[in-house]
Amino acid sequence: MSRLGIVLLVLLVLMAGCSGFSDGNGAPDREPYGVDEQINASIDEDEEELLPGLTTEGVTNTNSLREVHEEAIGNQSYTIESKTEYLTEDGNETIREQVEVTTYVDPEAEVIYEVQEYYTNDGETDGYVGIQRNQTIKQWIGEKVFVRIEYEDGTIEYMPAPSDPVSVEDRLDQTSIRLLDPLQYPQETTTIGVVDSEEGTYYVVEDRENRSNETSQVIGGQLEEIDVRTLVRDDGLIRQTIAERLITQNDEQTTIEQTIEITAINETTVERPNWDDEALKAQSQNSTQNR
């Protein structure tokens, strides 16, 4: 375990004394991003606003916090690493699905390269990952947009040039939205702590919600529990979000565990893919066929 993992373990004991869905009261019990130093288990309640959109009561405005995050990251290159696991229990059947997404971002050069990998142990159901199961999708977004799909049997397909491609600016917005998405839900319980590191002070935001109603965003089901832990640097940079969700839908129970974090800040190199010639050729052939 990293030193921050040990530090936050102490923090969680001090602040909550519990972990994740194991006893229904605490933050996700997984190791967070690594920093050093000691922690303070509470924040001065008189200091109401810590950052735009973040107070001692928790996240009050995700749009404001996202804007501060984007200002903090500036034109530095970075990598976003995301891992989501879906575990569905349906009677005696267990369906395990996993999505790993690595996004390499260079705002100054206005290029993004993303690798999406989808896995499932069940070949007969679309599950949560849909038709993308057991696929690897690679996207290059720059002056052109290339998309390469590798299927389970090894077949490779290059997608046509999009008629309305996603701009780099829009995709940059999407990456910060992904970090804040688990905090979009109104929370019942919020705890704020502090971790000091060589690169700044981090606010540790822990949110929890229990709900069961017809307005759930899960169609035909009910979203019962959400636990979220987010690390926000004191300049607004959102370093990591860990979320756990427990969903009950049509007598099925699904646990969703997600970790999203920013790594390699100002150390990420975004290289043009070595399959760009094949993608260009496929786009050219598709354009000729459609004339």
Helix and strand numbers (H, E) in the chain are: 5, 15
Write the burial class of residue 166 (CB in 10 Å: 0-12 exposed, 13-18 middle, 19+ buried).
middle
Q: How confident is the model at residue 5, as a pLDDT?
A: 37
Q: Which two tokens stand for residue 63?
A: 């749009």
Rounded Cα distance between 93 and 240, Å, is: 33
Closest CA to 271 of 146, 88, 92: 146
Instruction: Check if the beta carbon of residue 117 is closer than 8 Å to that of residue 248.
Output: no
Q: What is the mean pLDDT of each run of 10 residues along the chain (291 residues)?
A: 35 34 41 45 61 86 89 92 88 84 92 91 62 84 91 90 74 76 66 80 84 52 77 92 83 86 93 92 73 50
Beta bridge partners, 263, equal 79
55: which 2 tokens? 């107070």
- For residue 161, what pLDDT is reported? 75
CA distances 168 to 141, 174, 192, Å, are: 7, 10, 33
Q: What is the pTM of this model?
A: 0.78
- The half-sphere exposure of 59 on its side-chain side, counting CA atoms within 13 A, is 30
Q: What angle separates helix 62-73 from helix 168-180, to the nearest 10 degrees?
A: 120
Residue 169 tokens read as: 């600016």
Going across the sheet that includes 156-158, the strands are: 39-40, 189-197, 200-210, 221-233, 238-249, 252-263, 78-90, 93-106, 111-120, 136-141, 145-150, 156-158
pLDDT of residue 172: 75
Angle at 262 between CA 168 and CA 164, to 5 degrees: 20
Task: Say how many residues make up the chain.
Answer: 291
